[in-house]
Amino acid sequence: MGSSDPRSPSPRPTAPQTVRTVVTWGLVALVGAAALGRLALLRGETISAAWLLVAAIATWLVAYRFYARFIAARVFALDAMRATPAVRLADGHDFVPTNKWVVFGHHFAAIAGPGPLVGPTLAAQFGFLPGALWIVVGVVLGGAVQDFVILCASTRRDGRSLGQMAKDEIGPVAGVTALVAVLGIMVVLISVLALVVVNALKDSPWGTVTIALTIPIAMCMGLWLKYLRPDRVLEASVIGLVLLAGALWAGQWVSQHPTWAPIFTLTGPVLALAIMAYGFAASVMPVWLLLAPRDYLSAFVKIGVVIALAVGIVAVLPPLAMPPVTRFVDGTGPVFAGKVFPFVFITIACGAISGFHSLIASGTTPKLLARETDAPLVGYGAMLTEALVAIMALIAACVLSPGVYFAINAPVAAIGPTAASAAEAIRGWGFTLAPGEIEGLATAVGETSLLSRTGGAPSLAVGMAALFDRALGGGAMALWYHFAIMFEALFILTTLDAGTRVGRFMLQDLGGQLWPKFRDVTWAPATWIASACFVAMWGHFLYQGVTDPLGGINSLWPLFGMANQLLAAVALCVGTTVIVRMGRARYAWVTLVPLSWLLIVVFTAGWQKLFSADPRIGFLSHAARMDALHAAGTLPAGVTSLDALPRMAFNDRLDAAVAAFFMVSVVVIVADSLRTWWGVVRGGRPLASTEVPAQPVTAFAAGD
């Protein structure tokens, strides 16, 4: 990766400085290479998580120092004296020049969500190495580049959004396709995240009560901020955090209560309906009452937990119990079907490359940058930090013994309903689950069962609880487990409610094309209808995931990963077009390399999800199998009613249609982009840059 940067904008360093720099960075690179080599050459023995952390951090330091600087200096020629939109258009609320570390924190809090926690946990079924390598390399050449390039492009264009840039840079067809694709991706994203919450709270009165209580807690904060102490956000958040701790305790009390515990022991479908009702309510209620206070609370918990996880891992430096590579790279894995290529690259989207970030890098962030030269820290650096979160989640999952990991993450169809059947299935895979091990763990964390708690959240919570328990002395596993579940669910519900509201606005905007009155956000019938439609869209996938015994995370998570990667492909198309139209086509490989890789990965995976003859992978062959079983009158394992089969076949075909829709959208955008690039490179099309012309910072008054 590391092309060095001989022409840095700063004055030429003196000789001793150069020597020191070369020595320092040479050492960092050597340490990273040694740690990576140690990981790659591992044979049969367990290794400390420290090696993984050191390999990742050293690689990223080198990448940040050299590759991010290369992109900043050569590709975009970022200029500290060129006024940013925050300076030129300063308005005191949207466009505000802000300290770069504050923008970094703000941007990181906006991009970091549950994605980098869940994906690496699921991908641990291949062993820790495939996921770790993809996160380490993918973020350097893909994810961080995407975020950084889009941030630079948007900063040079008054903070324009990705959709607008797609329209301006590539063309109207690409613009419209990108907008519709974003809506579709949001539907899949919300449904799969909601499914993770349902699977974490199913049959768990403790978790259910704790999460349910976060809603009235947020509303109390909202009322406090609206009527009692306006604008005292930190004060209200402290009260909220204390109440959250109380909710954790209340959950424990309920779970041990003979009458209340059964009332809050809910099944998957009931929880799914409750979450849909919540999403609808959050979308039509005033923002100050629920969404905003929840968001503040969630930001605190998020940053706190990331730091706690880092401290826990560094304090314990646990050995990785999972082997570097498991036999499931051959595609027979129980957590999700498919070979390591292409599915590890689909399963881990957030953390390595996440298309969704391009919406944020072209949203609030470019309007806050005080200087162009702050962009590497914010764009590239914040994404490296998210990748660090992903590596830590992977470590937390791999701390568990493989037997326990598979008992928690494999569906009932693979391991059967009892600890004995699970132990037997897991022995068949070459791992061991000691008698009483999983039951003992379930009791320790205060749950009735941990078998087949798919979705990644429970196994991550068990891993984190084990880490914290070891770091701080034993005895509080149950509290740590439910604390981890609470924060994961809090993250997810914050994405879900804000996402549902945004989806509602997008639907109202679309409907407004046909009937302008529908766009009126103050007109209750329009807001209610649009909210109900959007909730129904993700609710369908959620309900299907909860009730379909062979589907769920297994079929929805790959769909989400593909959707997210395809959005990244759209962002990289926009980025490449920007670079080409700047007249720097010779540097277009910076975005073309990750773009090509994503297209290869996503189209291979998409093709397999559609047309694979293996019904565990292919949606269509699975549908055909369900039809055949229905015709023959036989029930597959885990299915209790014959009537379920046609419904399952329908869901498979719907999933196939969604996957096909995403792929066609990307083909359209890539084709439209190729047309543009060809035009520029052949010289037929003028190099009309859509950048706002450069103006020196000195032309603008300082201050707010």
Partner 1 sequence: MRARLHALVRLVRTIIGVPDYDRYLRHMRAHHPECRVMSPSEFRESRLHARYSRPGSRCC
* Shortest reach from residue 234's CB to partner 1, in Å: 6
R_g over Cα of the chain: 25
Among 47, 219, 502, 593, binds partner 1 (CB under 8 A): 502
Instruction: For residue 422, state whether it binds partner 1 (rule: CB under 8 A).
Output: no
* Shortest reach from residue 477's CB to partner 1, in Å: 29
The one-letter amino acid code at 168 reads D
Taking alpha carbons only, the member of 379, 338, 389 closest to residue 601 is 338
Q: Angle formed by the axes of helices 144-155 and 553-581, to 10°?
A: 50
Instruction: For residue 184, state whether it binds partner 1 (rule: CB under 8 A).
Output: no
Closest to partner 1 by CB, 97 or 416: 97
Rounded-to-integer distance, Cα 421 and Cα 334, Å? 14
In the block, tokens 């304090």 appear at 315
Instruction: For residue 114, state whether it binds partner 1 (rule: CB under 8 A).
Output: yes
Rounded-to-integer distance, Cα 375 and Cα 378, Å? 5
* Shortest reach from residue 484's CB to partner 1, in Å: 18
Instruction: For residue 233, state whether it binds partner 1 (rule: CB under 8 A).
Output: yes
Instruction: For residue 230, state whether it binds partner 1 (rule: CB under 8 A).
Output: yes
Among 65, 100, 106, 167, binds partner 1 (CB under 8 A): 106
Closest to partner 1 by CB, 494 or 673: 494
Rounded-to-integer distance, Cα 465 and Cα 445, Å? 8
Name the token pair of 36: 């990576």
Among 59, 155, 199, 494, binds partner 1 (CB under 8 A): 494
* Shortest reach from residue 346's CB to partner 1, in Å: 14
By the 10 Å C-beta count (0-12 exposed, 13-18 middle, 19+ buried), 227 is classed as: exposed
Return the bridge partners of 47, or none: 320
Per-residue binder mask for partner 1 (CB under 8 A), 298-327, x = binder: -xx---------------------------
* Shortest reach from residue 452's CB to partner 1, in Å: 24
- CA dihedral over 215, 217, 220, 224, signed as positive or negative: negative
Closest to partner 1 by CB, 62 or 526: 526
* Shortest reach from residue 502's CB to partner 1, in Å: 5
Residues in CB range of 249: below 8 A, 6 or more apart = none
* Shortest reach from residue 116's CB to partner 1, in Å: 9
Closest to partner 1 by CB, 107 or 622: 107
By the 10 Å C-beta count (0-12 exposed, 13-18 middle, 19+ buried), 704 is classed as: exposed
Name the token pair of 660: 């096909």
Among 91, 330, 424, 520, binds partner 1 (CB under 8 A): 91
Name the token pair of 552: 């769920």
Rounded-to-integer distance, Cα 80 and Cα 375, Å? 10
Closest to partner 1 by CB, 607 or 700: 700
The one-letter amino acid code at 638 reads G
* Shortest reach from residue 212's CB to partner 1, in Å: 21
Among 56, 112, 153, 426, binds partner 1 (CB under 8 A): 112
Closest to partner 1 by CB, 198 or 400: 198
H or E segment to which residue 319 belongs: strand 319-320
Contact between residue 124 and residue 341 where contact means Cβ atoms under 8 Å apart: no
Say which DSSP state 634 is in.
Answer: -
Per-residue binder mask for partner 1 (CB under 8 A), 143-182, x = binder: ------------------x--------------------x
The one-letter amino acid code at 290 reads L
CB atoms under 10 Å from CB of 212, counted, come to 19
Contact between residue 595 and residue 573 where contact means Cβ atoms under 8 Å apart: yes
- Interacting span for partner 1 (CB under 8 A) from 2-10, 259-267, 288-296, 394-402: 288-296
Strands (E), 5-65: 47-48
Instruction: For residue 564, state whether it binds partner 1 (rule: CB under 8 A).
Output: yes
Instruction: For residue 50, state whether it binds partner 1 (rule: CB under 8 A).
Output: no
Per-residue binder mask for partner 1 (CB under 8 A), 340-369, x = binder: ----------x---x-xx-xx-xxx-----
Name the token pair of 623: 């549908």
Closest to partner 1 by CB, 293 or 446: 293
Return the bridge partners of 696, or none: 82
Instruction: For residue 704, state whether it binds partner 1 (rule: CB under 8 A).
Output: yes
Instruction: For residue 90, state whether it binds partner 1 (rule: CB under 8 A).
Output: yes
Binding-site ranges for partner 1 (CB under 8 A): 90-94, 96, 98, 102, 105-106, 109-115, 161, 182, 186, 189, 193, 230-231, 233-234, 287-288, 291-292, 295-296, 299-300, 350, 354, 356-357, 359-360, 362-364, 494-495, 498-499, 501-502, 505-506, 521, 564, 701, 703-704
